[in-house]
Structure 1
Amino acid sequence: MLKRVYDWCIAAAEKPYALWILAAMAFAESSFFPVPPDVMLAPMSLARPKRAWVFASVCTVASVVGGLLGYAIGALLYDSVGHWLIQFYHLGDKVEAFREGYARWGSLVILLKGLTPIPYKLVTITSGFAGYNIWLFVLLSAITRGCRFYLEAVVLHRYGDWIRERVERHLALWVILFLIVLVLGFVIAIKFV
């Protein structure tokens, strides 16, 4: 099964709709979907290393736009359901302390967590909830997501053939390592965020 999925991703790089699939995945991951776009970005870049830059650009733009949806979810849920829950549990004073802390450290949070395996949707939704400056949020999201996806593009462009040979030889091992990193990101997010 893993081989079929991998082969489908490799073959998708040649299709005219490849960029749309990649964009949809990056968009969804920044707002509500649990699987990162690297699942498509890496195999597509391995299949066509010279287009790794294009793939990274699509991921960056779609991720930032998807981040705006995540931001809206955080902002709108607070105004509707979130505010009622805060009052119900008598946590009004803690929300303002959280917002003050996020106003002070939000830039660092966005920049660092955008590079990690911690799900980026947590950053986007939290930014909206905290009322973080939307224009600064967009700028920082473009920087951090661009760094992540372009770093991946540099590595896959330069060492793509070498990496592809090893991935295909030990596909199950690489998928297991990827899943461990993904689960670790969720665990870190739940325990420490």
Structure 2
Amino acid sequence: MDFLRNLGDIGLFIHAMIDAIIFPIPALFSQISLSTLSPERAIWLATIGFIGCIIGTPIGYGIGRASGTLVLSKMMKKKWHDSATALFTKHGEAAILVGAFTPIPFKIFTILSGCLKYPLWKLIAYAALGRAAKFYAVGGLFYVYGRAAENMVDHVLTFIMLGLGVLIGGIWFAVRLVKKHRQKRTGAEAKGVQETAGGADVPAGE
């Protein structure tokens, strides 16, 4: 951690990238340390962390595709592995979004996505949304409140992240419900057209 912190912006970039691959300590800690030193650069630091994470995401995915659950079982505690698997299996894309705001290490979701052969482009898209919200929530907090934000992190940041996670997850579920409703409506209309066409083919007098 000290080594990465001493590298400044480059250290944050590296930390964020390996956070999505194998590193056990979240990049959030490097972001907070550097933002405390330079609150006026907090948004820029958030951008660096976000880019690093997005670059690391497909690498973690590739590890999952190549090794299956072997890496996860050796790297992570069983409770993290089981929680992430259950969340991913039940909620799919929403798990990636919400996973950005939970205590579960994000690399579990990148590697697990590879294990389950989840579409890479979807992983990157949803990871971009979730991780951007997280990095910029932290950056915005420091940019607005300055160094005082360091004392607010433990008490406020968790609730902000969870709130954003719930909001994003809620929007996702709402979109899914609308899509399902439209699909059912389209299917019913198509069935009605087929029945009408079938009735028109019956010769008069029969």
Aligned to 1:64: 54
Which of the residues 104, 115, 138 maps onto 2:101? 115
Which of the residues 154, 159, 184 maps onto 2:140? 154
Q: CA deviation at 1:46?
A: 1.4
The percentage of counterpart residues that share the same residue type is 25
Query: Partners of 2:51 and 2:107 in 1: how far apart?
Result: 15
Residue-by-residue CA offset, 1:60-96 (whole Å, 9 max, x unaligned): 11111111111001101139x79xxxxxxxxxxxxxx
Aligned to 1:36: 26
Query: Partners of 1:105 and 1:134 in 2: how far apart?
Result: 17
Query: Partners of 1:65 and 1:162 in 2: how far apart?
Result: 31
Query: Partners of 1:123 and 1:32 in 2: how far apart?
Result: 11
Q: Extract unaligned runs of 5+ from structure 1.
A: 83-97, 168-173, 182-193
Aligned to 1:26: 16
Number of residues paired by the alignment?
140
Q: Extract unaligned runs of 5+ from structure 2.
A: 72-84, 159-206
- If the length of structure 2 is used for normalisation, what is the TM-score? 0.60
Residue-by-residue CA offset, 1:33-56 (whole Å, 9 max, x unaligned): 000111110021111111111111
Aligned to 1:128: 114
Work out which of the two has the higher radius of gyration on C-alpha atoms and give 1 or 2.
Answer: 2
Query: Partners of 2:91 and 2:24 in 1: how far apart?
Result: 25
CA contact (8 A) 2:62 2:114 kept: yes
Answer yes or no: is 1:75 the counterpart of 2:65: yes
Q: CA deviation at 1:150?
A: 0.2
**Which structure's relative contact order is higher, taking Cα pairs within 8 Å and 6+ residues apart?**
1
Q: CA deviation at 1:127?
A: 0.5
Answer yes or no: is 1:105 the counterpart of 2:95: no
SS in 1 for 2:118: coil
Q: CA deviation at 1:160?
A: 1.8
RMSD across aligned C-alpha pairs, in angstroms? 2.9
Which stretches of structure 1, 4 residues or more, deviate above 4 A after TM superposition?
none
Query: Partners of 1:26 and 1:161 in 2: how far apart?
Result: 22
Task: Please tell me the residue identity of whatever aligns with 1:75.
Answer: R
Q: CA deviation at 1:115?
A: 1.6
